[in-house]
Amino acid sequence: MQYFVEEEFLGQAVPFITAIGATGALAGEIALRFDEAGVAIERGEFTADLSTLTSDRPRRDQAIRDRWLESSRFPIATFAASEVVNLPADAALGQDVPFQVQGDMTIRDVTNPITWDMTARVDGGMMTGAATTFFYMKEYGFDPPDVAGILRVTDGVTVTVNFVAQETP
């Protein structure tokens, strides 16, 4: 999982740069039901350990953990998937298929509905793909980072998750 935010440093020729952080501490499972009506989510919950997010700047990581995400108090973000939408009628095994998954995401004990834009491929018993979403930090109870006006982050986070799911017997 990666996050992308825009940082602004005063006095720089390029006012915004994209800060990228990542974690591999993700887990979850999903149970899908396939029938003539399409695909339905019977069960799906995913977690990410926010206390393990790292970027190219350890100082940034520590500030995010301590002051904004408060990951010592709220280490886990969750997404509870509820519905598959916009799945193409001609979706086929072995093809990249675009669709959306809706559900509720919880960060810092604040839960909001959210939609992930997905591209997935099912081949044999394996599903691979990527999911992307965008949200505002204020929606989850914290202001964007601002360090004495020297460093300011715009209020908007893009999150991308690359995933591999294995069918279980």
Domain boundaries of the chain, sorted by first residue: 2-166
pLDDT in tens, 146-166: 877 677 788 899 999 999 988
The predicted model scores a pTM of 0.87
The CATH fold of domain 2-166: Lipocalin (2.40.128)
pLDDT classification of 12: cutoffs 50, 70, 90: low
pLDDT in tens, 25-41: 999 998 888 777 778 89
pLDDT at 98: 96
More confident residue, 118 or 144: 118
Mean pLDDT of the chain: 89
CB atoms under 10 Å from CB of 81, counted, come to: 21
| β-bridge mates for residue 18, sequence order | 6
pLDDT classification of 138: cutoffs 50, 70, 90: very high
pLDDT in tens, 82-102: 999 998 888 888 899 999 999
Identity of the amino acid at 106: T
pLDDT at 20: 93
